[in-house]
Every structure is written in structure tokens, then in C-alpha cells.
Amino acid sequence: MDKNLSRRGLLLAMAASAFESRADTMKLPHKVQLGIIGYDGHVDEILRTLPDFPDVELVAVADDGSDSGATQSALRNPSVSKARRYAAYAEMLNREHLDCVAICNNNGGRAAAIISCAARKLNLIAEKPFAITRRELTSVIAAVQKNRIHAGMLLPMRFDPPYLAMKQVVESGEIGIIGQIDAQKSYKLGER
């Protein structure tokens, strides 16, 4: 490793390396029917990328008590405005034939929504945290395992080029063994 490389230079080199290694968008064998539960948190991680995946169609959304500002913002999205709308996710899950669900409801209701989707054998991606109590988390894990579904958490930064590149540098051993990591939230969290 060049010992005269600045931190900025290192990050730029890592980002360039990760960008070069990104795979092309995958073509799916059939249209995937997607539902969304709630508009809280980082639902934009789902909505913003929908145009990049022509084989994924947002067919239904359930407000499920989301913050009114988040709901109004989501409703301005063209994919959301075309989707069938439900006030509660239970009705949406009962009526729709979905392939997968994005769960972005409030933290307190997320575990129940995940368990409901798992019971219907629907693969899902959910906002963090999956649950707010240990008992709920145990129930979520049991439901996912019992129904053999895929469940993921919205942690998109781990796939951004700079972070992928940093991961590659760390795994290569080029900078030695990491002894400490520090992180900081980049914006103020709302009222507690």
C-alpha cells in the first residue's frame, strides 16, 4: 500500500474499485408482485429503486398508521399512486397475491407484520429493528425459520460502493487488523 496515500485518496480509490465491480441488473423470469406495509423509516430505499427493476411491480400498499407526512410523501411516488391502497395490512395480505413485501411500518408494529407475512410464506424486507422486545424478536425468528422464507433488513449503505470497497480493503488485510471502529448518525433523530 502507498504510505503517502491520504484518507481521501484511499476512500476515492476504494469507491472507484467497488463501482467497477458492480454487477448488471438481473433479469427475472416473471413479474414480481410487491406489497408495502407502511411508509415510515426508509421506504424510499424501496420506492426510489423500483424504476431500476422493471420486473418488480408495486401492486398494493397498506398505510398501517404511518406518519401523515410520510404517507403524503409516499403518495406522490408514481408507483404508489398506481398501487391498490389499503388502510390495514391484514386486509392487503388477505386480498392480494403477493410474491414479497417491504415492511416499513412503525417500530412497535413491525414484528407482528413480519410474523403475518411469514405465516403466508411471503419473502420480505423490513425496516430496522425487526422487533422491539426480545420476546417479539424470538417470535419473528421462529416464524421466518418455520415458514422457510427469506427475510432481510433495510441496511442499504452496506451495498454502497465506498462501503463495499472498505470491506474489500479490510478483508484483504492490506491495512492490518482493525482495532477500533467509530460511527456517528449523520442527522438528528426525532423526538424520544
Burial 34-58 (b: 16+ CB within 10 A, else e): bbbbbbbbebbbbbeebeeeeebbb
Q: What are the structural domains, with CATH classification, of the chain?
A: 32-156 (3.40.50.720)
Cα–Cα distance for residue pair 36/102, rounded to 1 Å: 5
The distance from CA 33 to its chain's CA centroid, rounded to whole angstroms, is: 17
pLDDT (average), residues 123-139:
97
Residue 30's pLDDT is: 87
Residue 153's pLDDT is: 95
Cα–Cα distance for residue pair 176/182, rounded to 1 Å: 17
Pair 86, 63: CB distance under 8 Å: yes
Is the whole-model pTM more than 0.85? no
Q: Which of 80-94, 136-150, 163-177 has the least mean pLDDT? A: 163-177
- pLDDT digit string, tens, across residues 21-56: 444 566 778 899 999 999 988 899 999 989 989 999
DSSP string for 26-84: PPPSS-EEEEEE---SSTHHHHTTGGG-TTEEEEEEE-TT--HHHHHHHHTSHHHHHSE
Dihedral of CA 35/186/25/125: which sign?
A: negative
Find the distance separating the first CA and the last CA of the chain, reported in whole Å: 45
